[in-house]
Amino acid sequence: MADLSALIICLSLLLYLLLDGTDLGVGMLFFWFHDDQQRELMTHSILPVWDANETWLVLAAGGLLALFPPVYSLLLSELSAPLFAMLLALVVRAMALEYRAQSSTRLRHWLDRIMASSSALATFIQGWCAGMIISAQPHTGLPDGLSMVPLISGVGLMAINSLLACCWIGWRIGDKVQPLAEAQSWLWWLLALLVFLIELYLNADLWQQSWQRPLGKVAGAAIVILWIALPLALWRARPLVQLLVTLMLIGAVFIGLLCGLYPWLVPHQFTLSESASSPFTQGFVLVGAAIAMPLTLLYHSWSFWIERRGK
Amino acid sequence: MLPVFFAFRLMVGLGGVILLTTLVANVQRWRGRLPVSARLLRWLTWLSPAGFVALLSGWVVTEVGRQPWTVYGMVRTAQSVSPLALSTTLGIFLAVLLIYGLVFALGLHYLLRRIKGELPSGKPVVIQLKTPN
């Protein structure tokens, strides 16, 4: 039962990474796309979906509180400052995004700067927190914030989100952003791959553990194939294929990581079964999730569909 | 407790005033006189912040009124507080105040400007993205 509970949380988290990763990336691309018309189109490509994407973060955090209270309490007190910084960055980002259309040209430039830097900050902190969690040690707990794994995880997430966003705007907007998005895709692909290899080296134990499991083997093979497929898709310049391959790659890395962590929720601190709430609570929450998650998924798919048909 | 005493009365009182205003405004609407009732409209302008104030005092009622409990009768606040350093808590609190202040001020600025400006023409803004394949 605890496994099922963990699955629910991981699923929300993965959906969050995939969906909001894309629009955080679009925010970060404001650093490189200066043309006002480009930015306008980029904003409009994410405006209808960004807040729905963030519901998955709420679901993951709420689920963690209900299903694994000790982990929630550990993470939110140890990582309180960075997590709050991330949430506030998301708030500021929302402000920059929503007020953009209302403001004068001068203020808009400021809002765009805020948009780019808060997106970058939020993404970095998310990667950094993930790095903190996977490198927790038996006795000392969470590592020093300035150690290698968290820092480089943050950079890695920034790279992969930027890549996602390049594919997204290439698909959604097309010609007006295509040349720069395409050129940047290569850069982000290379940077993300580099970070991934360093992470592989630094967390060799975890990935070895992952390889021991059948699902981990599948994920591992998928990761290799997708890393190779990605430049092929880039070369053929097919934004939608690139987007899908990148999304699958993130999914595969996520699953591979989970296989390496299992049965730990936070390595050497909490296992799944130790930290789960009582079966009654879990049952209650799981029934709720069984109702809410399909509905949310349906609603999101529907809104994506509407947006896809164009306005 | 004094704050709870006043906050509760403020909340309920403002709620009553808002409800009464709604009734009066609806009567005027039925009579078809809503756009020309100058006194009512001026009163409505003054009443704009009432919702906020009522909401905030309601918040004070629940949060202050519940002390010393976090979950009434089950968990005390003293038991449920996180082991955070005072500086961290203060830092987070100040950051939240600052950011909310900023967002709120900017939002209010745009809201007021929108109210002051001309009535919208009714034409929707159309942004054409590429037709997706």
Q: Taking CB atoms and an 8 Å limit, are A173 and B131 in contact across chains?
A: no
% of chain A surpassing 90 pLDDT: 24
The full DSSP string for chain A is -HHHHHHHHHHHHHHHHHHHHHHHHHHHHTTT---HHHHHHHHHHHTTTHHHHHHHHHHHHHHHHHH-HHHHHHHHHHTHHHHHHHHHHHHHHHHHHHHGGGS-HHHHHHHHHHHHHHHHHHHHHHHHHHHHHHT-BTTTBS--TTSHHHHHHHHHHHHHHHHHHHHHHHHHTGGGTHHHHHHHHHHHHHHHHHHHHHHHHHTHHHHHHHHTSHHHHHHHHHHHHHHHHHHHHHHHT-HHHHHHHHHHHHHHHHHHHHHHHTTEEETTTEEHHHH---HHHHHHHHHHHHHHHHHHHHHHHHHHHHHHT--
Between positions 72 and 101 of A, the ones with CB within 8 A of B are: 73, 76-77, 80-81, 84-85, 88, 91-92, 95, 99
Task: Kindly identify which residue of chain B lies nearest to residue A84, measuring between CA atoms.
Answer: B92
* Among B92, B127, B133, beta carbon nearest to A84: B92
Instruction: State residue A124's pLDDT score.
Output: 94
Task: Kindly identify which residue of chain B lies nearest to residue A168, measuring between CA atoms.
Answer: B132
Average pLDDT, chain A: 86
Instruction: State residue A163's pLDDT score.
Output: 92
Strand partners, B76: B69
Residue A174 forms contact with B (CB below 8 Å)? yes
Instruction: Give, to the nearest 10 degrees, the angle between helix A2-29 and helix A105-134.
Output: 150
Spatial separation of the C-alpha atoms in residues A308 and A20, rounded to whole Å: 17
Give the predicted TM-score (pTM) of the model.
0.85
What is the mean pLDDT of the segment spanning A261-285? 82
* Among B106, B126, B133, beta carbon nearest to A99: B106
Which residue in A116, A227, A242, A234 sits closest to A171, CA to CA? A242
Q: Taking CB atoms and an 8 Å limit, are B96 and A84 in contact across chains?
A: yes
Question: How many residues are recorded in chain B?
Answer: 133
Q: Which residues of A touch B96 (CB under 8 A)?
A: 84, 88
Instruction: State residue B126's pLDDT score.
Output: 64
Run of H or E residues at B124: none
Both tokens assigned to A195: 């970070």
Spatial separation of the C-alpha atoms in residues A128 and A149, rounded to whole Å: 8
Task: Kindly identify which residue of chain B lies nearest to residue A305, measuring between CA atoms.
Answer: B132
Which residue in A246, A250, A249, A263 sits closest to A212, CA to CA? A263
Residue A214 forms contact with B (CB below 8 Å)? no
Residues of B with CB under 8 A from a CB of A: 82-84, 88, 91-92, 95-96, 99-100, 102-103, 106-107, 110, 113-114, 126-133
* Among B92, B110, B126, beta carbon nearest to A102: B110
Digit-coded pLDDT (tens) for A137-192? 777 777 777 788 889 999 999 999 999 999 888 888 877 778 888 888 889 999 99
Cis bond before residue A263 (omega within 30° of 0):
yes
Q: Which of A24-33, A218-227, B13-22, B120-129 has the lowest mean pLDDT?
A: B120-129
Which residue in A142, A138, A141 sits closest to A150, CA to CA? A142
Evaluate if residue B121 carries a pLDDT over 70.
no
Q: Taking CB atoms and an 8 Å limit, are B127 and A308 in contact across chains?
A: no
Q: Taking CB atoms and an 8 Å limit, are B129 and A172 in contact across chains?
A: yes
Question: Strand pairing of B69-71 and A270-271?
Answer: unpaired
Q: Where are the domains of chain A?
A: 2-308
Spatial separation of the C-alpha atoms in residues A87 and A274, rounded to whole Å: 29
Both tokens assigned to A86: 């991330």
Instruction: State residue B133's pLDDT score.
Output: 43
* Among A81, A91, A99, beta carbon nearest to B88: A81
What one-letter code names the amino acid at B36?
A: V
Q: Taking CB atoms and an 8 Å limit, are A80 and B128 in contact across chains?
A: no
What is the mean pLDDT of the segment spanning B83-108? 90
Strand partners, A137: A141
B114 or A222, higher pLDDT: A222
Q: A241 burial class (0-12, 13-18, 19+ CB within 10 angstroms)?
A: middle
C-alpha distance from A102 to closest chain B C-alpha (Å):
7
C-alpha distance from B97 to closest chain A C-alpha (Å):
10
What is the mean pLDDT of the segment spanning B98-106? 92
Q: A280 burial class (0-12, 13-18, 19+ CB within 10 angstroms)?
A: exposed
Digit-coded pLDDT (tens) for A58-110? 888 988 888 888 888 888 888 888 999 999 999 999 998 888 888 788 888 88
Task: Kindly identify which residue of chain B lies nearest to residue A46, measuring between CA atoms.
Answer: B129
Average pLDDT, chain B: 85
Confidence class of residue A311 from pLDDT cuts 50, 70 and 90? very low
* CB-based contact A147:A135 (threshold 8 Å): yes
